[in-house]
Amino acid sequence: MDCQKIIDRVYAEVKAGENLGQVAAYIPELSKIDPDRFGICLTSIDGRQYRAGDAEEPFSIQSIAKVLSLSLAFACIGEPIWKRVDVEPSGTAFNSLLQLESENGIPRNPLINAGAIVVCDILCGYFREPKKELINFIRRAANQPDIDYAADIAASEKSTGYRNFALINYLKSFGNIHNDIDQVIDLYFNLCSIKMNCVELSHTFLFLANNGVQLESGETLLDSSRTKRINAIMQTCGFYDEAGEFAYRVGLPGKSGVGGGITAILPNEYAIAVWSPRLNKKGNSYRGMKFLERFTTETESSIF
């Protein structure tokens, strides 16, 4: 199978087709992005990379980063994490407050905003310098020391982040935030602001396709049993109320972000990152979904 050829062909087909949806405008900084950017990179566990389009253009990975903060928190505290956050698909929007009331402040899963905020609280309780430890973990996964938070995007999101402030206050009212609210929400906004390009992003997620082991350093970032669990959570919860649709159309565990990125992995094979800023109504990249659907169909790569 000539992977580069298939990527080039599917990329060209999807690019020639419609580009529907809107760029996320509720974070002012994200609304400035050219909606027609489109990049792909696949990194295989033998270290090969295949790219197309704007693969080297950095963008804000937004909620994709929630998988990384979750991986770090899970590596640090293990099973007790599930006392604070559940592992069930939510079937609701990423920023929904709805289920917290009936579920006593325990978020449905760690990949919706409420759950990711609780994970940030766990990191704030565990580390003296959580912001530094988190970015160090991500740099080790990426094998790239200059990955960083984007202060302008974090500040921009903070300026209009009413829902996330509502979520953290609501969580606190149930006793599920243990640290200073300002510190926790600051970590959350910074987490979402991280910038990477598709090459870096696919490389960063490769450990989840490689039983938790970082390719170049050989460091075990997460043991294999926990890696399996993170992948299961991506499969069931990575696309909010479109998780079923993504599983049906693409057939891989993955995670999306409102910056227009999607990352997906095929265990023991590869990690792939796609970026196209226009989002469908559920907040997932329109072209990203299309590309991955066609790519996994043509390469017959799926966990099913």
Binding residues for substrate: 63, 113, 157, 164, 188, 240, 258
Q: Distance between CA atoms of 234 and 236, rounded to whole angstroms? A: 6
The full DSSP string for 214-283 is: -TTT--BSS-HHHHHHHHHHHHHHTTGGGHHHHHHHT-S-EEE-TTSEEEEEETTTEEEEEE---B-TTS
Active-site hit among 11, 50, 240, 286:
240
**Closest separation in Å from C-beta 96 to ligand GLN:** 11
Residues that constitute the known binding site: 63, 113, 157, 164, 188, 240, 258
- Whether 258 sits among the annotated catalytic residues: the reply is yes
Burial of 119 (0-12, 13-18, 19+ CB in 10 A): buried
State how far the Cα of 229 lies from the Cα of 179, in Å rounded to an integer. Answer: 26
Active-site annotation holds for 63:
yes
**Could you give the CA distance from residue 301 to residue 304 in angstroms, rounded to a whole number?**
9
* Of 13, 82, 34, 55, residue with least CA distance to 199: 55
Cα→Cα distances 116→56, 145, 174, Å: 27, 24, 16
Q: Which is nearer to ligand GLN, 62 or 90 (CB)?
A: 62
As measured in angstroms, the least distance from the Cβ of 202 to ligand GLN is: 18
Choice between 39 and 257, CB closer to ligand GLN: 257
Q: In the β-sheet with 49-53, what is the strand arrangement from edge to edge?
A: 49-53, 39-44, 270-275, 261-266, 254-256
CB-based closest residue to ligand GLN: 63
Tell me how far, at minimum, the Cβ of 257 lies from ligand GLN, in Å. Answer: 4
Question: Which CB, 164 or 231, lies closer to ligand GLN?
Answer: 164
Cβ-in-10-Å burial (0-12, 13-18, 19+) of 183 comes to: middle
Q: Which is nearer to ligand GLN, 164 or 210 (CB)?
A: 164
* 255 is known as an active-site residue: no
- Spatial neighbors of 132 by CB under 8 A, at least 6 apart, are none
- The phi, psi pair for 264, rounded to 5°, reads -140, 155
Would you give the distance in Å from CA 254 to the centre of its chain? 8
Closer CB to ligand GLN, residue 236 or residue 301? 236
| Token pair belonging to 100 | 């917290």
The CA angle 112-144-5, to the nearest 5 degrees, is 80
CB of 151 to ligand GLN, least distance (A): 14
Q: Residues interacting with ligand GLN, by CB under 6 A?
A: 62-63, 94-95, 113, 157, 164, 192, 257-258, 283
Shortest spacing between CB 264 and ligand GLN, in angstroms: 15
Q: How many CA atoms lie within 13 A of 287 on its CB side?
A: 29
Q: Which of 14, 67, 250, 258 is catalytic?
A: 258
Question: Choosing from 14, 50, 66, 156, which is the catalytic residue?
Answer: 66
Q: Which is nearer to ligand GLN, 166 or 232 (CB)?
A: 166
Q: Has 83 been annotated as catalytic?
A: no
The nearest distance, CB 164 to ligand GLN, in angstroms, is: 5
Q: Which residues are catalytic?
A: 63, 66, 188, 240, 258
